[in-house]
Amino acid sequence: MSEVVTPEIVEDVAALGRRARRRQPTLVLGIALTALIAVIALVSLVWLPYPLSELGGGRLSPPSAAHLLGTDRLGRDLLSQLMVGARIALVVGLGAVLISGILGTLIGVLTALARPWLDDTLSAALDVVIAFPVLLLAMLVVAVQGPSLWSAILAIGLAMSAVVARLSRILARRVLQEQFVTAARTSGASTWAVVRDHVLPNIAPTLMVSLALQFGVAVLAEASLSYLGLGAPPPNASWGRLLQEAQGTVLTAPVGAIAPGIAVIVLVLGVNFLADGLRDLTDPTRRRAR
């Protein structure tokens, strides 16, 4: 028997179409902005307008055909440094997100599986760690390890893992209370099987959105560390270090400060738009609200 198409059904279909069109621009814009920085970073692996160590461009030269963004106070090409900075930002962001994702998810799931007294203790410890800003915790780790690119990645990843752990714990506890988990345990499934087959697949979509947001936090943290001299040391051309070097000449050569600032904004906005679009796609409550 065929189903009768009522006006209510037509309206529901039309509403779904309108919501999809409203979601698409945010996701597409996020992908486009993030992909732009990713392409620049990939190109920097095989081609740069000038070597980073070349000083023959003249000090603080304005943008020209030879140097599209001009040069810095040492005569180095700013476009070349900006391209390498894109690579460093992506490497730090991906590395920090990978560390925080693995470590945070592991701690969060184990906390959710722990006994109530241990769960409460670990949750309180996570709250204490989260109370400290990511940049402050990263500075402490870098101070112990010494400034380097890998120290920045490790420091930012460890600092962000507490946020991921807390979210993982909340999500895992919700899943563990579902009836299908109770049925799996009743049927003899081990704890590892429950985590692998039920917990991780159900918390993964929300964690992906959170990690996308954490990527933007990692980029800002790396730029801040480099600005303070605690990030990747020269000759690595971090965007934060470019901002620090250009602050003394911002009035005479503003491009040196504007260009890396815009680059940071583009990448952070891109991953935030991407996270917002992913949240719309994975969260049914937000889809109904819209």
Nearest CA-CA partner of 93 in 165, 33, 160: 160
Residue 55 lies in a domain: no
pTM (2 d.p.): 0.83
Please report the pLDDT score of residue 159 as a whole number.
87
Q: What is the pLDDT of residue 72?
A: 87
202: which residues sit within 8 A by CB, 6+ positions away? 171, 175
Residue 105 belongs to a domain = yes
Residues of the chain predicted below pLDDT 70: 1-24, 283-290
Q: Is residue 282 part of a domain?
A: yes
In a domain, 12, yes or no: no
Q: What is the pLDDT of residue 289?
A: 47
**pLDDT at residue 38 in the model:** 95
Q: Is residue 56 in a domain?
A: no
State the total domains in the chain. 1
Residue 65 lies in a domain: no
Adjacent-strand bridge partners of 71: 77
- Residue 174 sits in a domain whose CATH number is 1.10.3720.10
Question: What number of H helices and E strands is found in the chain?
Answer: 11, 0
Rounded Cα–Cα distance for residues 44 and 288 (Å)? 43
Q: Is 266 contained in some domain? A: yes
Burial bucket for residue 10 (CB in 10 Å: 0-12, 13-18, 19+): exposed
Is residue 251 situated within a structural domain?
A: yes
3-state helix, strand, coil in the chain (%, to 5): 75, 0, 25
Q: Which domain holds residue 161?
A: 24-49+76-289
